[in-house]
Amino acid sequence: MFDDVADGYDRANSFMTFGFDRRWRTITGRVLDAKRGEKVLDLAAGTGVSTVEYARNGAWCLAADFSVGMLKAGKHRGVPMVAADAMKLPFADGSFDAVTISLALRNFVDTKAALTEIARVVKPGGRLVICEVSTPTFPPIRFLHRKFIAKLLTWVGARTSSNPEAYSYLAESMLAWPDQRTLGEIIASAGWTEVEWLNLTFGVVAIHRAKKPTVNS
Ligand SMILES: C[S@@+](CC[C@H](N)C(=O)[O-])C[C@H]1O[C@@H](n2cnc3c(N)ncnc32)[C@H](O)[C@@H]1O
């Protein structure tokens, strides 16, 4: 599905989020705080638009995605890229200082299994930063969001994409996604500690962060 929408994906994404996606990525980059000398895996990175942002301070950031079409559409960005499935990562244990996922965790077939697999490739004490759609906290906005999101995405899909069904799927996956607290519990149940989250844009999106326990903790 992502191969089919790859070419127009970045444009459609910015359109659908009214340009907020740029701000969400900037804040995710700040929370991640990747430093020179660190190795960061940007998982389900799509075209690598977020990878560029996270590499800004000199960290080595690898964009991984199982859609070769998405990776190819971002080739011009010049970030290192690899085709990889989040459910079975082709990396040795403890390979990365941090793993980050933006607007993609909800696409994985088994969230908890993916988070467990991600923990395997992160060093003890390493970080997890997830930017994902969530549940608006202010009731009137929550109501409007639930009521109009499917219509908006279907409308955008019909105008910007050769595969409009993909955008209906996107809306369904957003509405079915757990709220902030429930996702926090799933992350903790996959073996991560110090789970906390930050709401952005009234909770339309939330950033969750967590740590892999050190051997002694
Ligand atoms: C909505 S896009 C987000 C892309 C990018 N992270 C961004 O912020 O624009 C979701 C991405 O998740 C990828 N994806 C979904 N399931 C995956 C999996 N199991 N392993 C690797 N990538 C996956 C898709 O190919 C797609 O590129």
| CA–CA gap between residue 63 and residue 77 (Å, rounded) | 11
Q: How far is the CA of 115 from the centre of ligand 1 (A)?
A: 14
Residues touching ligand 1 (Cβ under 6 Å) are 2, 13, 44-46, 49-50, 65-67, 70, 85-87, 102-104, 107-108
Does the annotation place 97 within a ligand binding site? no
What pLDDT does 143 receive?
Answer: 85
What pLDDT does 216 receive?
Answer: 65
Q: How far is the CA of 113 from the centre of ligand 1 (A)?
A: 16
Does the annotation place 111 within a ligand binding site? no
| CA–CA gap between residue 67 and residue 46 (Å, rounded) | 7
What pLDDT does 14 receive?
Answer: 75
Sign of CA dihedral 63, 57, 134, 152: negative
Q: What is the pTM of this model?
A: 0.90
What pLDDT does 156 receive?
Answer: 73
Q: What's domain 13-135+177-211's architecture?
A: 3-Layer(aba) Sandwich (3.40)
Does the annotation place 42 within a ligand binding site? no
SS3 string of the chain? Answer: CHHHHHHHHHHHHHHHCCCHHHHHHHHHHHHHCCCCCCEEEEECCCCCHHHHHHCCCCCEEEEEECCHHHHHHCHHHCCCEEECECCECCCCCCCEEEEEEECCHHHCCCHHHHHHHHHHHEEEEEEEEEEEECCCCCHHHHHHHHHHHHHHHHHHHHHHCCCHHHHHHHHHHHHCCCCHHHHHHHHHHCCCEEEEEEEEHHHCEEEEEEECCCCCC
What pLDDT does 144 receive?
Answer: 86
What pLDDT does 112 receive?
Answer: 98
Mutational test site, ligand 1, from 27, 51, 62, 65, max ligand atoms within 8 Å of CB: 65
What pLDDT does 160 receive?
Answer: 67
Does the annotation place 65 within a ligand binding site? yes
What pLDDT does 17 receive?
Answer: 76
Mutational test site, ligand 1, from 107, 115, 169, max ligand atoms within 8 Å of CB: 107
Q: Is 116 left (phi over 0), alpha (psi -120 to 50) or beta?
A: alpha
**Below-50 pLDDT ranges, the chain:** none
Question: How far separated are the first and last CA of the chain, in Å rounded?
Answer: 41
